[in-house]
A and B are shown apart, each in its own frame.
Chain A
Amino acid sequence: MMYEIRDLRLSFPDMTQKPLLGPAPRIEVLKGLSFDLPKGAVLGIVGGSGSGKSTLGRAMLRLLEPSAGSITFDGTDITHMQEAQLRGMRQRFQMIFQDPMSSLNPRRKVGGIIAGPLKLHGLDGLQARVDEALDMVGLPRSFAQRYPHELSGGQRQRVGIARAIALRPAFILADEIVSGLDVSSQAQVLNLLGELVRELGLTLAFVSHDLSVIRRLCDRVLVLHQGVIVEEGETAALFEAPQEAYTRALLEAIPLPDPDQPWE
């Protein structure tokens, strides 16, 4: 298993309710989630805004520390691991961000951006690794000399993907990575991600509010609502026969590009 997650709980202090003196009450965002993510699987995490889907992703990468429960990554319990130890692990789980414009340093060239994490993890042969990463995402090597603002949205998102895969991680979290793109670039990025998962044997968690995108890419889906797993299962089964009312409502609300779809 890539991930074994048991009764995962995560809460934040609710600063709107904080008394003048004393601690703020805590508000629970993840309310006891349990699931397994097998190696090589592509898991879609879907839900409305505020459902906790991004928080779950961040907890899986230990960017947030759970308040209870456990997260086991590839056999290692990382639930409360210290940052110094985590740093050694981080090479193995990477993230691709939603907005490539704000997650790529505008003052660095693409080559430097991709090399950044490689240096941090003390890897050698930077040039070769950067070139290889650019090849894998289908960008010309000459792009290493460009700045993010010189690229289109789709190209920028490829740089974000290149930065993540350059470290050769086992697991990648992609958080809403196509929601800011036009359909054409979206199709390209999705196709690319699908290829990379197959070629590199990646395990992928794909956070999205868009069920049509999830259906294309993922083999398992987890539906979150208000911090609870509403339904989890194989993609085809879940789409064809959703068991829960919330999942059905979510599916029925998607406007398909088809005037004959019932939309009462």
Chain B
Amino acid sequence: MSSYLTIKNLTVRLKNGAPILRAVSLDVAAGQVHGLVGESGAGKSMIGKAVLGTLPRALQVTSGEIWLDGVDLLSLPASERRRRIGATAALIPQDPLTALNPSKRIGPQITRRLVDILGWRKQDAEARALDLLGEVHIPDPARVMRSYPHELSGGMRQRILIASAFAAEPKLIIADEPTTALDVTVQKQILRLIGEMQARHNTALLFVTHDLGVVSKVCDTLSVLYAGKVVEEARMQRFFMRPIHPYSAALLAATPTYTNPDSSLTPVPQTVTDAVEREVREHDLRAGA
């Protein structure tokens, strides 16, 4: 099975040298879903941003490789890199309201990328957008194409962004907390939809989330991050049966579940954070040497 996305020893630093990602490596194969989990500030979103070339200005990739569909993105000149990324990867963002332009109708927002970047004819792009809106189970796609974002519910807007992400048949989709802003019932529909679309299009999916419950429903493999370092990489079933790293186990123990109300809810213990901090420092020493 070929990997659509391979990241090798990716290190991202602040301009002043402070590390944000510490030699992160991971693989996502076609048709696979890889989860990135961790607490806020662990750097899980930054991996996606590094791949898409949308890191904040204050950050830069200082070493490592990002192979997307057989090409090392970081070896390409900037303009060529952007073109490759635009043609092979797409993003499903967290907040469907801020990701859509409030002053433009839905239709042009989906077709713009196809027409302007990929050079499709306008009619083809519109036909494709209609098909996709149908595929994400939007009733009356023609009417929705003419609607403005504020006329649609949060769940509908997220469906539109999913359709839009799949529009150009990307090899890789990065979903960054795509359901955090939604109700549980809508979240369930959206997660199923993402899974269904991803399987049908055989896309590699990198799924960023802080919710271990969500991970257990959509991912095949996952990486647990702490302070920009992967502390555990695992297949999903094994991870939930026997997490190996103490930090992973602590995260699981801190997650409340309504089916198990009597087990004590344990915050990540100080001993565990101390140990994982030590690991990170040792890594930095080795990296500096």
Contact = CB atoms under 8 A, between A and B. Distances in A.
B267 A215 contact: no
Given A257-B216, A258-B216, A183 B251 contact: yes
Interface in B166-209: 183-188, 191
Contacts of B245: none
Interface in B221-242: 236-237, 240
B267 A184 contact: yes
Interface residues of B, number: 35
Nearest to B251: A183
A259 interface: yes
Interface stretch (A25-33, A115-123, A248-256): A248-256
A249 to B, nearest CB: 6
Contact of B187 (A153, A253, A257): A253
Contacts of B217: 255, 259, 261, 263
A105 interface: no
Interface stretch (B46-54, B100-108, B254-262): B254-262
A256 B216 contact: yes
B212 A257 contact: yes
Contacts of A214: 258
Interface stretch (A57-65, A96-104, A128-136, A185-193): A185-193
A187 B214 contact: no
B258 A185 contact: no
B139 interface: no
B188 A255 contact: yes
Nearest to A235: B261
B82 to A, nearest CB: 33
B9 interface: no
Contacts of B99: none
B265 A216 contact: yes
Interface string A197-238: 000000000000111111110000000000000000001100
A191 B267 contact: yes
Contacts of B214: 255
A250 B184 contact: yes
A23 interface: no
Interface SS of chain B: helix, strand, loop or mixed? helix
B39 A182 contact: yes
B62 interface: no
Contact of B185 (A212, A250, A257): A250
Contact of A212 (B186, B187, B256, B268): B256
A187 B256 contact: yes
Contacts of A184: 39, 250-251, 254, 267-268
Nearest to A251: B258
B184 A253 contact: yes
B184 A190 contact: no
Contact of A255 (B211, B237, B251, B265): B211
A259 B237 contact: yes
Contact of A257 (B40, B183, B252): B252
Nearest to B263: A216
A216 B184 contact: no
Contacts of A252: 188
Contact of A187 (B154, B185, B259, B265): B265
A198 to B, nearest CB: 15
A255 B216 contact: yes
Given A239-B258, A255-B216, A183 B210 contact: yes
11 contacts: A49-B183, A188-B267, A209-B183, A210-B256, A211-B258, A216-B261, A254-B258, A255-B191, A255-B214, A257-B252, A259-B216
Nearest first, the 6 closest Cβ-Cβ pairs linking A and B are A255-B213, A257-B212, A182-B39, A184-B268, A215-B258, A48-B183
